[in-house]
A = this chain, B = another copy of it.
Amino acid sequence: MRSLATASDAGSEMPYIDLDAYLGEGGGARGRIIAAAARLFRERGYQQVTMQDVAGAIGLSKAGLYHHCPSKDLILADIVGLCGQILTRQLQTASEAEGTPLGRLQRFVVTRMETIAQYQDFFTIVYQERPYLGTSTFGSIAKSAEVYRAGVRDLIEDCKACGQLRADIDAHLMMLAIDGMTGWAYVWFRDDGTQNPTRIGESFWSFLMNGVHPVEPLVAGRDRPRRNSE
């Protein structure tokens, strides 16, 4: 991935596809190529997949594929770039939502679970291909991951500041707990319609908010757990 790292280091124009371009009209030919390649990279590993495999998966000739995508590394670069944009937008949407800080944090947890499930191929590749992505590229991934994590800590601190979370909560560890319980879905989520990411995200949120000890569940209109009388 030397070429990628160099382009990025030189501060030249980002070679990655824009998220809105990807999402619009199925991303066009480039979007279809990225989605098909991502499935193959996830299943077989990036290095085992040839451009011929990618072309075959979407019914293009190899020449037709090269017309849209000059190299396999650039497809991988698109995937890495999209992952960053997807998570940035997911955090931003939750952070700017109307309502209370706790409502925004809840929205963040649930939409993160939905996002990991929706783009499971992409996120799996970023974790699987970490050694291949190389130090420079992974350094840039790590940098944007750190911005994301700082944003999550801010959401948590906002809740603490207005008394919606316990003051003794370590925001960094709570961020890691949320990150992990939702992010780990890249390993176990089955995209066969049997699992509902929204419901799973809401359950995870409920575990964290109410605790799993025997207390009555939250009553609508209240914002604190009510204990059983002992």
Contact = CB atoms under 8 A, between A and B. Distances in A.
Nearest to A199: B173
A71 to B, nearest CB: 19
Contact of A166 (B47, B130, B187, B212): B212
A31 interface: no
Interface in A161-216: 163-170, 173-174, 176-177, 179-185, 187-188, 200, 203-204, 207-215
A206 B80 CA distance: 35
Given A181-B181, A184-B183, A213 B210 contact: yes
A183 B210 CA distance: 22
A166 B214 contact: yes
Contact of A215 (B200, B208, B224): B224
A137 to B, nearest CB: 13
A105 to B, nearest CB: 10
30 contacts: A42-B131, A43-B131, A44-B131, A45-B130, A47-B47, A48-B131, A163-B214, A165-B214, A166-B215, A168-B217, A170-B203, A173-B204, A174-B207, A177-B181, A177-B203, A177-B204, A177-B207, A179-B188, A180-B185, A181-B181, A181-B184, A183-B184, A184-B184, A208-B212, A209-B211, A213-B223, A213-B224, A214-B224, A224-B230, A226-B227
